[in-house]
């Protein structure tokens, strides 16, 4: 195999890609934005069409790239490594402030705190600041394995020197059972790559309210988004719904209650899908339908398990929210080859 970088031409844009480097990684490190979400080959967001050249790529799922698309030359840039110079369909060079150059990051564990059953809040003190947009994630490198796992930032951009992550244990998970819940210590070094993802807070019309629907640790990027939105407009109307199974799975309750007390436009509603308690029960999508007769004056961000996200989208559409204002991020266990 050649040790020289391959060239990828995309219209008026060209980047160099090392022989063992994924195409998406090369583009983002060069400051050329390609839409991306899971970075695991399960969502299809980063697909591009190759007109000339060859790549090494694992067989994609039929649900991600159809046989017709594969015959037309489409590949997943997050999974494909060039084996020759390439020409692909043009990409848009987007200089938007919400898109940032991908880079390697280092830091040390600042704190580890159990906040709910099988859920930790971990902070990492960075060696140098990281520019990102609220809603994005980084990939943490699992020591001694060569593997990575994606975790969303829960803190807003601009807090130089520290990142906050909400991490739920995945039984048998290489990152959680193999490291974070079993052996991670305060002060140990952490290697990361980021920022990734197009689940990004967009300021939109300041007159629009926000509806934030979270399942489990899908609350993390929504915490970042809510904080960023309130920094721009402390009076903004924001409805936060956090769905978990049992009361023992709830966390950050005091944070949201304090936020609601300090900002009259913020409403926080935790919902339990199982078990009994004094608060709301059922699913977050049903709670939205019960509480809001119309969602026409809002935009929404949803993050959590796929079933919760899809049900939430249906609820928002039922309440007449425009599809273009619905932003979503699905979390599934890494052992199923998708974001944690």
Query: What tens digit of pLDDT does each residue of 70-91 get?
Result: 999 999 999 999 999 999 997 7
Between helices 306-318 and 284-291, what is the axis angle to 10°? 20
Residue 270: exposure state from Cβ atoms within 10 A (0-12, 13-18, ≥19): buried
**Bridge-based pairing state of the strands 148-152 and 238-244:** unpaired
Report DSSP state, residue 334. G
Predicted TM-score (pTM) of this structure: 0.93
Q: Quick one: pLDDT at residue 1?
A: 45
| CA gap 150, 218 in Å, rounded | 12
Percent of the chain that is helix, strand, coil (3-state, to 5) = 20, 30, 45
Phi, psi of 121 (to 5 degrees): -105, 125
Q: Of 242, 245, 265, nearest to 254 (Cα)?
A: 242
| CA gap 129, 223 in Å, rounded | 19
| CA gap 167, 176 in Å, rounded | 8
- Domains of the chain by start residue, with CATH: 6-88 (3.10.20.30), 103-196 (2.40.30.10), 209-336 (3.40.50.80)
For the beta carbon of residue 237, count every other beta carbon within 10 angstroms. 18
Task: With residue 224 as reference, give the H or E element that holds it.
Answer: helix 219-232
Query: What tens digit of pLDDT does each residue of 122-150 get?
Result: 999 999 999 999 999 999 999 999 999 99
Query: What tens digit of pLDDT does each residue of 42-73 get?
Result: 999 999 999 999 999 999 998 999 999 999 99
pLDDT exceeds 80 at position 151? yes
Query: What tens digit of pLDDT does each residue of 232-269 get?
Result: 999 999 999 999 999 999 999 999 999 999 999 999 99
Q: Quick one: pLDDT at residue 149?
A: 96
Query: What tens digit of pLDDT does each residue of 86-120 get?
Result: 999 977 655 555 789 999 999 999 999 999 999 99
Q: On the CB side of 24, how many CA atoms lie within 13 Å of its CA?
A: 25
Report DSSP state, residue 179. I
Query: What tens digit of pLDDT does each residue of 157-181 get?
Result: 987 789 999 999 999 999 999 999 9
């Amino acid at each position: 195999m050649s040790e020289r970088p391959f060239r990828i031409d995309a219209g008026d844009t060209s980047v160099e890609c090392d022989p063992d480097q994924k195409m998406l990684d090369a583009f983002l490190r060069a400051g050329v934005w390609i839409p991306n979400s899971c970075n695991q080959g399960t969502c299809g967001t980063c697909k591009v069409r190759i007109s000339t050249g060859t790549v090494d790529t694992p067989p994609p799922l039929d649900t991600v790239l159809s046989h017709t698309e594969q015959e037309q030359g489409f590949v997943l840039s997050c999974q494909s490594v060039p084996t020759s110079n390439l020409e692909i369909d043009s990409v848009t060079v987007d200089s938007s402030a919400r898109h940032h150059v991908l880079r390697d990051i280092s830091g040390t564990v600042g704190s580890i705190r159990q906040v709910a059953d099988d859920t930790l809040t971990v902070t990492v003190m960075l060696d140098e600041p990281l520019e990102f947009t609220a809603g994005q994630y980084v990939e943490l490198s699992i020591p001694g394995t060569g593997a990575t796992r994606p975790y969303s930032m829960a803190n807003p951009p601009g807090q130089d020197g520290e990142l906050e992550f909400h991490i739920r244990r995945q039984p048998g998970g290489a990152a959680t059972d193999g490291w974070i819940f079993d052996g991670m210590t305060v002060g140990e070094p952490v290697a990361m790559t980021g920022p990734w993802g197009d689940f990004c807070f967009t300021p939109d019309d300041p007159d629009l309210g926000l509806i934030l629907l979270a399942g489990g640790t899908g609350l993390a990027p929504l915490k970042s988004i809510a904080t960023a939105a309130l920094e721009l407009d402390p009076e903004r109307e924001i409805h936060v719904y956090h769905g978990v199974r049992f009361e023992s799975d709830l966390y950050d309750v005091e944070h949201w209650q304090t936020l609601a007390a300090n900002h009259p436009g913020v409403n926080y509603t935790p919902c339990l899908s199982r078990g009994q308690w004094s608060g709301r029960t059922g699913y977050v999508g049903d709670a939205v339908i019960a509480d809001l007769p119309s969602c026409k004056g809002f935009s929404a961000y949803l993050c959590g398990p796929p079933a919760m996200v899809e049900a939430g989208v249906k609820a928002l559409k039922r309440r007449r929210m425009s599809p273009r204002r619905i932003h979503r991020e699905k979390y599934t266990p890494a052992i199923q080859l998708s974001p944690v």
